[in-house]
Amino acid sequence: MKTILDKQRAAFKANPNPSLAQRLDWLDRLAGMISQNAQTISATISEDFGHRSTIETRLADIAALLTEIKHTKKHLGKWMQPEKRPTALQFKPARNEVRYMPKGVAGIISPWNYPFQLAISPLIAALSAGNRAMIKPSELTPRTSELTKKLLGEIFDEDLVAVITGGPDVAQAFSTLEFDHMLFTGSTKVGAFVMQAAAKNLTPVTLELGGKSPVIIDHDYALQTAAERILSGKMLNAGQTCIAPDYILAPRKSIKALSQKLAKTCRKFYPSIHDNDDFTAIISEGHYKRLSGLVDDARKKGANIIDIYPEEEKSDSNVRKMPPKLVTNVTPDMDIMQEEIFGPLLPLVPYDSLDDALEFVREREHPLALYLFSDNKIVVERTMNEALAGDMSVNDTLMHITQNDLPFGGVGKSGIGAYHGHDGFKTFSHAKGIFRQSKLNSRKMLFPPYGKAIERVLGFLS
């Protein structure tokens, strides 16, 4: 890894600020590779999962990346232009500007849940900013990691883009390398270790973590509409999404009706689970057991488990497909209300007033995403202004991440920094402030020895 890093650093020194044409060429190569290998990418991800919905892969790992590349190519020339900044009156006619410079070599550590998309999306940002990049994908999706290495190796030399495969020991060593910027996507726990390793080299980091992303349903919002949009976000990738709705805060009087509509809607979306190609499997036996443990713990502590598909609970046609469940009568001490779920389990929490709902959210760690379903402008404004979260969608779920003109990132324990679109370009760039002195200037008035001239200047400034 050190040899590859040295090779990339030498290549960067030889070409420290690639032209627009060069960067566009890199993006074109990426887009061509993704389009030409879409079917292979989808099949490989499905192998790693045991089963992964082809439509979900085409949507989240293929179309999302091609859309992001298209957006970046359209705006990159403008992003690279020097940005004029105001100059204070006493310094005119001097000029100020900001130039966005490549940082150098970027390190990218990507997770297993969207194993191709979350390796390539940060790469798009890094390359558009003019950097070199090294990628360490997850060992939980080894086939996809090897395919990513092969495909990128066919379009880029190792001194531009390199993929490093291996287990946790490799990831740990990778995080200690002296990158010029490092982006990590994964759990909060592992993110803390990555930040510690990066701190030893003073490597700036962007951490895309997780947390428990809440949904708040307002008192008079249509429950059927909310149920459909919540489940479409929750059940994507079988809930294995960092911004999946983690639990629902609903009016106390609506809990029963909401649970019925959620169950009915879920069966409409997925008439069956084990033999349904649209429903994705849990990534590993370990994660399946973890999710089962959350259900067992909640049940033992008094929760009501609503089995939406009771007839499929004992099926072994695909052992890692977990039928979705609703969980009511939850309490804060239950593991399901303390850990990020990352699966097809959905707790429902009653509230009596908006104040109660907002307080419930504020008492906990800042979530990566917050979802509000309300047509009341006052409720919407209050929630936007009073609940701190990485990002937010109003009257929908997940859709904020598809907006290339919005930054995506967490706050507090749900993450540090943001990327996507222009914000991704800026994350992997150094904003270099530049002051341009004019031929006509009063600079000599600040030279020593100090006398009446400097007194006049100080009088003017104060």
Residues labelled as active-site residues: 208, 242
SS3 182: strand
Alpha-carbon distance 210 to 111, whole Å?
12
Token output for 138? 């997850």
SS3 8: helix
Q: Helix 20-36 and helix 64-80: axis angle, to 10°? A: 180
| CA dihedral of residues 362, 367, 370, 376 (deg, nearest 10) | 10
Query: What count of other Cβ atoms lies within 10 Å of the Cβ of residue 368?
Result: 29
Which of 147, 152, 113, 135 shows the shortest CA–CA distance to 39? 147
| Strand 132-136 to 161-163 pairing | parallel
Is-contact 372 394, C-beta < 8 A?
Answer: yes
Is-contact 413 364, C-beta < 8 A?
Answer: no
Phi, psi of 134 (to 5 degrees): -120, 135
Alpha-carbon distance 135 to 242, whole Å?
20
Kindly give the residue spans of alpha helices, DSSP state H, lying in 159-254.
168-175, 188-199, 223-234
Q: Which residues contact 371 (CB under 8 A, 6 or more apart)?
A: 213, 214, 215, 216, 230, 233, 245, 392, 393, 394, 396, 397
* Side-chain-facing half-sphere of 214: CA atoms under 13 Å: 26
Is-contact 103 75, C-beta < 8 A?
Answer: no
SS3 129: coil
Whether the upstream peptide bond of residue 449 has omega within 30° of 0, thus cis, is yes
Token output for 10? 């030498």
Alpha-carbon distance 57 to 270, whole Å?
17
